[in-house]
Structure 1
Amino acid sequence: MLLKDILYKVSLEAVAGSTDLEISTITFDSRKVVPGTLFVAIPGTQVDGHDFIPKAIELGATAILCERLPETLQEGVTYIQSKDASRAMGFAASNFYGQPSSKLKLVGVTGTNGKTTTVTLLFRLFRALGHRCGLISTVQNQVEDEIIPSTHTTPDSLTLNALLADMLNKGCTHVFMEVSSHAVVQQRIAGVQFAGGIFTNITHDHLDFHKTFDAYIKAKKGFFDQLPKTAFALVNADDPRGRIMVQNTVARRETYSLETGASFKGKLLADSIYGLEMEVDSRQVHFQLIGNFNAYNLLGVYGAAVLMDEDPAEVLTELSALQPPPGRFEQVISPEHIVGIVDYAHTPDALKNVLETIAELRQGNEQIITVVGCGGNRDATKRPEMARIACQFSDHVILTSDNPRNEEPEAILEDMKKGVPNDTPAEVTVLVDRREAIARAVSLAQSKDVILVAGKGHETYQDVKGVKNHFDDREELRAAFQKG
């Protein structure tokens, strides 16, 4: 593709050299440069891409997109200057791959909790409704039945547009993707055209990256600010910040709610271990998902489907048959009828939602035993709060490792222990080894007790000092149940 076509709608400060040259590929990683490459120099937190411009040219890059022009410009190389190289790369990537998002019905979902469940339900629902679909999520990316491993909640703009182009080429008409706050700030969705956006909720998270809660809210809001007039913006009206999300959007504003008037109104009639009974827009429906938080997820999915011109009755029929995604309130039952629940809850609000649901489902004096940890190199302010919430709703709490990453697990647990109330009635144990912690929980449980293993959900690894060791909470729970 010609460079001048790749630069369509890219905001430029200066151009030195010809744009009438053929570009074979685009990359921001100098190690991937081949002859004919457009190399994008992005300033990063660890390294600055501008430092690698000479290496990129040496390897054959014929065009450089950057924020700062080098002092010496090499003959035969075209230099393009932009104020924001990451944003410019987003538009360039979209153009290079044929603007795939404009030819798809692409729906983005953002919020602190519920993103993965919502996009997975949308993906499964629209497939059941007869559409060919793509999925971009924390758990995995998927093109119909083909599973593609996922490394980020929202991929970088080059990977994202390549993925969307692949989905389009394979006949997909609808794509559902998680949109993280990091992705908005880092311009990973720049140049991407959405047919709709959904806001689930917002609570404290990722303050290690955003620094303040206001900055985190602004990042989420930034997604809706980018939506076009042709899109819908569907927000949870029961979240106090739902309406803030759409203050400046030009998209069509819609709401869903369990508590107030909204475009899509639901009422929770019953919640049990066997599922939810809800009234949705005056229709009574049984769903296989459990918990008040899933009532919101289902309502958001329903609203989005109706806004995309699907028949309401058919949508509810298909939704009622869907199972929860992996690691989202996933049940593992022992031969002794101990109920194990594995959930990705890794924020205070998510943990509270899951434990409140378990408490509401309890029919007698069953114990609630919670195994929980916090990830390393992430927002440390939530650690004591996670422990406090676990103690508030549990009979036994076992604090343990999550993904310690480059932190010492003992240091993370010391932070968590600060949140254990002095007068807590819960029995609290600290075990660094997560496998041992799960086994201890099983040893404490009796028939009909509930064990919640929180924090990792679908993950099949434990990240320790940069090494991802195989570890699956579901496997560990089953193994502990078998040992008795």
Structure 2
Amino acid sequence: MRLKQILKGIEHKIIMGQPQLNISNLQYDSRKIEANDLFIAIRGFNVDGHDYIEEAVKKGAAAVIVDRELANYYPGITYIKVENTRKEMAVLAKNFFSDPLADLDLIGITGTNGKTTTAYLIYNILSKNSFKTAMFGTVKNIIAGQEIEADRTTPESLDLYRYFSQAKNAGVKYIVMEVSSHALDLYRVYQMDFSLAVFTNLSPEHLDYHKDLKNYRLAKSKLFSQLSKDASAVINLDDKNSNFMLEKSKAENYIYSLKDRSADLYCQNYKLSQNSLQYQSGGLIKRDFQLKLGGLFNIYNSLAAVLSTFLLGLEIDDIVSSLEVIEGVPGRFELIDAGQDFQLIVDYAHTPDGMENVLTAAKAITKNRLIVLFGCGGDRDRSKRPVMAKLAEDMADYVFLTNDNPRSEGEELILKEIKAGFSQSFSNYKVIADRKKAIAEAVNFAEKDDIVLILGRGHEKYQVIKDKKIELDDRKVAYQALKERSS
């Protein structure tokens, strides 16, 4: 495609070269540049793409997009300056891939907790009703049944448009996508046309980046303020931030609730067990539901999924039958069973709100003791560490503190800041920094009818310590510990 076509709709200035250039591909990673590619220099958390222009040129870049003046311009290369390369990358990608979303229905889910499960439920309901569907999120990316490894909740805009183009070519009808606050703040979904958007809930998270809850909430709301009037917004009325999202929304709003019978969809007469739930719904849909998922929070997730797919035009009988056969989400209240006489559950909960939800769900079905193992990630919001300790003290019978993903922080500091949340009289805990050893000890500590909760990492397969990624899957480690205990 000619550079001039790629730049359509973008306010820009040609610093050097000419816009009639033919461009083979777009890249923001200089390592992937090939002959006649356009290199987009974006600023990341740790590196600035402007520092890699020389590498991109040597690899064959024909043109470069920048948002600051450079000390050196290489001859024979076309340079274009824009106000914000990260923001404009979404438009560049949209142009280059000929706006594949014009032929697709994009469904976005945002919130602190529940994004993954809600997306998973919507994806499976659509797929089980013979719609070719794609999903992008924390656990995995899938295009028409083909899995693609996920390394962040919401990919960069250029990667997304590449995926959208693949999805269109594969005959996909619906794309279900988790939308993180980082993605909204960093223009990863800028100007994308969502057919439907879901708000699950909001509690303190990523404050290391957003600085305060007000900024975090504002970032989340951007998904709804960019909706068109023809789109639908599905919002959790029971969250105290729901009115803010409703006010920001430019779409037709629908609400769901576990408490308020004025909602478009609400729940009544629910019944929970350790790995299933039942409830009746009221409002737009009056039916009985039964799911192979545990926890009160999964009623909320299923209400969001039911209302969303109903608004997309699916028959309620098809929605109900699809939900009945959907298995649990990887790393979300996932039972690890090796024939032991107690329950072991692995969950991704890594925020105070998420932790409280899981502890509450487990406590409701615990016959003996509730044992929790957790840590807190390094280089992330430090204020949540003592809060999570207090929750563990108040709700569990015994606590194992260990490493989560320390990243560049020292593990001793993280564990010290977590322990600061315990009361001086609390002694029912043990600190074992090595996560594998901690899981093994928690397993061996358990007695008949206990519940052991391993929290924080869920589906993750690697632990990040300093600059290294170490293979570590809590589910595999727990299963191995259970097998060794029984042998």
TM-score category of the 2 structures, normalised to the smaller one: over 0.9
Give CA deviations for 1:179-219 in whole Å, capped at 9, x if unaligned: 11111111111232211111110111111111111111111
Partner in structure 1 of residue 333 of structure 2: 329
Q: Which amino acid aligns with 2:298?
A: N
Shift of 1:71: 6.3
Task: Determine the C-alpha separation between the residues in 2 that align with 1:264 and 1:191.
Answer: 29
Q: Which amino acid aligns with 2:462?
A: Y
Partner in structure 2 of residue 380 of structure 1: 382
Task: Determine the C-alpha separation between the residues in 1 that align with 2:438 and 2:295.
Answer: 25
Q: Contact conserved, 2:124 with 2:322, CA < 8 A, in 1?
A: no
Task: Determine the C-alpha separation between the residues in 1 that align with 2:12 and 2:229.
Answer: 25
Partner in structure 2 of residue 285 of structure 1: 289
Shift of 1:16: 5.2
TM-score (norm. length: structure 1): 0.95
Task: Determine the C-alpha separation between the residues in 1 that align with 2:376 and 2:465.
Answer: 13
Partner in structure 1 of residue 244 of structure 2: 244
Q: Contact conserved, 2:106 with 2:196, CA < 8 A, in 1?
A: yes
Q: Which amino acid aligns with 1:171?
A: G
Task: Determine the C-alpha separation between the residues in 1 that align with 2:54 and 2:479.
Answer: 54
Q: Is 2:308 aligned against 1:296?
A: no
Distance 1:229 1:19, change over 3 A: farther
Q: Secondary structure at the match of 1:123?
A: helix
Partner in structure 1 of residue 437 of structure 2: 436
Q: Is 2:318 aligned against 1:314?
A: yes
Shift of 1:400: 0.6
Q: Is 2:394 aligned against 1:404?
A: no
Distance 1:124 1:429, change over 3 A: same
Q: Secondary structure at the match of 1:107?
A: strand
Partner in structure 2 of residue 103 of structure 1: 103
Partner in structure 2 of residue 389 of structure 1: 391
Q: Contact conserved, 1:289 with 1:323, CA < 8 A, in 2?
A: yes
TM-score (norm. length: structure 2): 0.95
Shift of 1:79: 2.8
Shifted more, 53-62 versus 384-393: the winner is: 53-62
Q: Which amino acid aligns with 1:230?
A: D
Q: Which amino acid aligns with 1:63?
A: A
Task: Determine the C-alpha separation between the residues in 1 that align with 2:338 and 2:398.
Answer: 19
Partner in structure 2 of residue 417 of structure 1: 419
Q: Secondary structure at the match of 2:388?
A: helix
Q: Which amino acid aligns with 1:32?
A: K
Partner in structure 1 of residue 3 of structure 2: 3
Percent of aligned positions that are identical: 37
Q: Secondary structure at the match of 2:325?
A: coil
Q: How many residues align?
A: 481
Task: Determine the C-alpha separation between the residues in 2 that align with 1:50 and 1:265.
Answer: 51
Give CA deviations for 1:110-135 in whole Å, capped at 9, x if unaligned: 11101111111111111111101111
Shift of 1:15: 6.3
Distance 1:85 1:127, change over 3 A: same
Q: Is 2:365 aligned against 1:361?
A: yes
Q: Which amino acid aligns with 2:377?
A: G
Shift of 1:483: 2.0
Give CA deviations for 1:47-76 in whole Å, capped at 9, x if unaligned: 333333344334432222221244676654
Partner in structure 1 of residue 161 of structure 2: 161
Q: Contact conserved, 1:53 with 1:64, CA < 8 A, in 2?
A: yes
Partner in structure 2 of residue 18 of structure 1: 18
Q: Is 2:39 aligned against 1:39?
A: yes
Task: Determine the C-alpha separation between the residues in 2 that align with 1:59 and 1:17.
Answer: 18
Shift of 1:31: 2.9
Partner in structure 2 of residue 267 of structure 1: 268
Q: Contact conserved, 2:133 with 2:144, CA < 8 A, in 1?
A: yes
